[in-house]
Amino acid sequence: MPSATEEKVSRWYSGVTRYQWLVLAIASAGWAFDTFEGQLFNITRNQLLADILNVGPADPAIRRYGDAFLGIFLVGGTTGGLLFGSLADRFGRRPTMIVTILMYSIFSGLTFFAQSLWQVAVLRFLVAMGVGGEWAVAASLVAEVFPKSARAHASGIFHATSIFGTWMAALAGLAVGAQWRYAFLIGVLPALLVLWVRASVNESESWRDRATNRQSVKPGSFRELLLHPQWGPRAFLGLLLAAVGLATFWGVTVAGQDLAKQIMLNGGVAENLAAEKAKFAYGIVETAGGGLGLLAFGPICVRLGRKRAFALMHLAALAMVPITCYLPQNYFQLLILLPVFGFFTLSMHAGYAIYFPELFPTHLRATGTGFCFNGGRILAAPMLWFSGWLKSLPGMDLRLAVTLLGLLFSVGLVVILFLPETKNQPLPE
């Protein structure tokens, strides 16, 4: 039986300094506000588009433009992730994080004044650039600042805070009601985080060391990243791994709301009541399970290794999708399964913040991390259209459509076979 001293040493947070906790808090706040800015449009878009287009709430143009703006957001996020990831490797994590936070805060706030579709489109693109860029920079900073023994736990916590961003966006939407402009005005508040970043965050020691010896490397070079015999394959395989998670998120995870609505409609529940209960089932119940999955992925990575953790969660998700689709016979039975469904289908997303920074050297870390995660957005974008097309086919059972889309998790199982294990290894230099 281990002594009290041995048990204390074995805890992952033993020896973590106050400054390292501070970096985690700041990075997590930035990522939570990232998610807040991204979800704010999803929460308010029906009223926003109805007002901008001057149409009724049921007009089909609302869904058409809503999907188009989501596509714009994905492209903006990819652009920002690639651009700011490269800039962070060249000029430092701190100044780049400041610029990305200011971008998504200011341009979100300017949406308060939007009067036309093109204005909304431009602002959403710019907000997305800041959102995509901040994640890559913050994920790299957390990986570099924390010791090897605590890196996976800290990075998992960092990514899991996205749940708070979703809840904040939902609360902001409820608080302003139909006055959607004020929700975006609230979106300016994250800019205050810049003061905290400037006062508290220093460049990581590994980046400072690399910055003093740049004669033999090109920091932030996409050419070096993609054409290098070691980093290039990792970048493309990481992109495929992220694409599986992002595609299944849009095609499978968010379908929990549709499954809840369908099972209630089949039970004779009125349309309006079914829609409200479905929002609760997805936004609160399933999302809570997803948040626990994100938090759990770090400890699982430490125990099993990165590759086995990804394999386990992809296998579990592959099994859990048809169980959730076909086993429950009523709304309450579905509510029991949805947290488990969210746990397994969302948990591997925390793995991207843990794993991607470990694949690349310091001078390419933010570039490679941003390429994997945000490049995966573009590769996953067609799933938005394919998922909608499949689910709307005449005679298609929603449960079958979601189950078929869930087969994408098997692709992730194949991809992870070709990636290296990074458990207990120092970051590449």
For the chain, domain boundaries: 18-203, 219-429
Give me the pLDDT at residue 5, please: 45
Residue 188 CA neighbour count, 13 Å, CB half: 9
Cα 319 to Cα 317: distance, rounded to the nearest angstrom: 5
CATH class held by domain 219-429: mainly alpha
CB of 141 closer than 8 Å to CB of 9: no
How is residue 157 written in tokens? 């916590």
Residue 14 reports pLDDT greater than 80:
yes
The two most distant CA atoms of the chain are separated, in Å, by: 70
Residue reference for tokens 């207990």 = 424
- Residue 63 vs residue 383, higher pLDDT: 383
Give me the pLDDT at residue 7, please: 44
Question: Which percentage of the chain shows pLDDT scores above 70?
Answer: 96
Split at pLDDT 50, 70, 90, the class of 4 is: very low
Residue 350 reports pLDDT greater than 90:
yes
Mean pLDDT taken over the chain: 89
Q: Across residues 104-109, what is the average pLDDT?
A: 93
- Nearest one of 213, 232, 169, 216 to 43, comparing CA atoms: 169
Per-residue pLDDT reduced to its tens digit, 123-162 = 999 999 999 899 989 999 999 999 988 999 999 999 999 8
CATH class held by domain 18-203: mainly alpha
| Domain pair 18-203 / 219-429, same fold | yes
Cα 143 to Cα 147: distance, rounded to the nearest angstrom: 8
Residue 240 reports pLDDT greater than 90:
yes
How is residue 116 written in tokens? 């036309």
Give me the pLDDT at residue 279, please: 77
How many other CB atoms sit within 10 Å of the CB of residue 195? 10
Q: Across residues 229-256, what is the average pLDDT?
A: 93
Give me the pLDDT at residue 15, please: 86
User: What's the pTM?
Assistant: 0.86
Residue 255 reports pLDDT greater than 80:
yes
- Burial of 122: CB neighbours in 10 Å, binned 0-12, 13-18, 19+: middle
- Nearest one of 36, 41, 42, 61 to 50, comparing CA atoms: 61
Per-residue pLDDT reduced to its tens digit, 51-100 = 999 888 767 787 778 778 878 888 898 899 999 999 999 999 999 999 99
Cα 96 to Cα 93: distance, rounded to the nearest angstrom: 5
Q: Across residues 187-199, what is the average pLDDT?
A: 87
How many other CB atoms sit within 10 Å of the CB of residue 210? 19
Give me the pLDDT at residue 6, please: 44
Residue 211 reports pLDDT greater than 80:
no
Give me the pLDDT at residue 75, please: 87
Q: Across residues 199-218, what is the average pLDDT?
A: 78
| Length of the chain, in residues | 429
Weakest mean pLDDT among 56-60, 238-242, 266-270:
56-60
Give me the pLDDT at residue 214, please: 59
Give me the pLDDT at residue 10, please: 66
